[in-house]
Structure formats: structure tokens, C-alpha cells
Amino acid sequence: MVKCTKGQVRRLKTALRWKGNPELRQRIQMVLLRESGMTQPAIAEAMGVSLSTVNRAHMAYDHGGLEALKSKPSGGRKRENMTLAEEKAVLARFAKAAGAGEMLNIHDLKAAYEKAIRHATSNSTVYNLLTRHGWRKLMPRPFHPKRDIAAQKSFKKTVFQMR
């Protein structure tokens, strides 16, 4: 347990009056209660939180001061392979051909992407990349690659006959 100086206690009491984040105010209160002489179990019971929550708040303050009590922002692209600008640069190589009406081969794009990130990735990652940058499939394929022409012709001959 690190004892706070009078200046630190004064800053904590000033920060307690800040409007805004109630979680920060609660952590500040936990530190101030410790400075008033309360034990961690008593603080936990008084604040209605677990003992580990009180312990984490005290350790954060001891190691980082008031800034360490502020919550860290969450969200964002935590597992990104590249920044959005880097992704645009990879897609720019294919944009000219796609704009000219040529078909974009996903295997070529995937190979370029994997070369840029220096490890293998799944097809869905590349499709998500295309969606993220507003690329979409404009033209459906004209026929199924495994079509059976004979079955199609016999279907046309037998199904639509007049009775």
C-alpha cells in the first residue's frame, strides 16, 4: 500500500467532482477510502463491488496515478492485418483493371494480400476487405460451371408440353 501525499489527495478530491464517467468516480472513491484508513474488504462491502475490483483500482492508482484509473477505450479493429490506407493501396493495384470491366480474380487478390501481410489468410478475410471498401459483385456468372446441358434440354421438352 502506497500512502498518498496531501497534494495527491487534493487532486483526487478535485477529480471526484468531475462530471462524466461514473466508473472513474467509483475508482477514485475507492482510493480515497483507503487513504481514510478503511481496509479493502470494508471498501468492497461499502461500495458494493468485489474485493478484486477494489484491489485492481488500488494497484492501478499505485502504479500509474490518476491517469491509470481512467478506463481504456474499447472497440476498433483489434485484429487488423493492415491499416485502411494500406488496404486501399493493395486494392488500388486491382482497381484500374476492375474499372475497365475486367473480372477481378479473387485468388490473385488473395495472393497479393497475403504477400503484403506476410502470412496466409482465409478467403473470407479478402471478401470482408472488398466489402469494407465498397467493392461488390456487379455481374453474376452466366451459367453454373457444373451444368448438365442434356438435362436442361430434356427438362424444357417434357415439362412445358400442352395437354
**pLDDT tier for residue 162 given thresholds of 50, 70 and 90:** low
Q: Are residues 60 and 105 in the same domain?
A: no
Q: Are residues 10 and 40 in the same domain?
A: yes
CA distance 37 to 47: 15
Which residue range is the domain that position 103 belongs to? Answer: 84-132
Q: Are residues 65 and 105 in the same domain?
A: no
On whether residue 90 sits in a domain, the answer given is yes
The predicted model gives 12-37 an average pLDDT of 86
Whether the Cβ atoms of residue 51 and residue 44 lie closer than 8 Å to each other = yes
On whether residue 155 sits in a domain, the answer given is no
The predicted model gives 141-147 an average pLDDT of 83
Say what the pLDDT of residue 114 is.
95
Domain count, the chain: 2
Contacts of 61 (CB under 8 A, 6+ apart): 27, 31, 68, 69
Percent of the chain's residues with pLDDT above 70: 93
Instruction: Report the C-alpha dihedral over residues 72, 78, 84, 86, rounded to 10 degrees.
Output: 120
Say what the pLDDT of residue 21 is.
84
On whether residue 121 sits in a domain, the answer given is yes
The predicted model gives 133-152 an average pLDDT of 82
pLDDT (tens digit, 9 = 90+) per residue, 62-121? 988 888 888 887 878 888 899 999 999 999 988 887 777 777 888 999 999 999 999 999
**pLDDT tier for residue 139 given thresholds of 50, 70 and 90:** low
Q: Are residues 89 and 63 in the same domain?
A: no
On whether residue 153 sits in a domain, the answer given is no
Give the residue with greater pLDDT, 43 vs 16: 43
Q: Are residues 51 and 89 in the same domain?
A: no
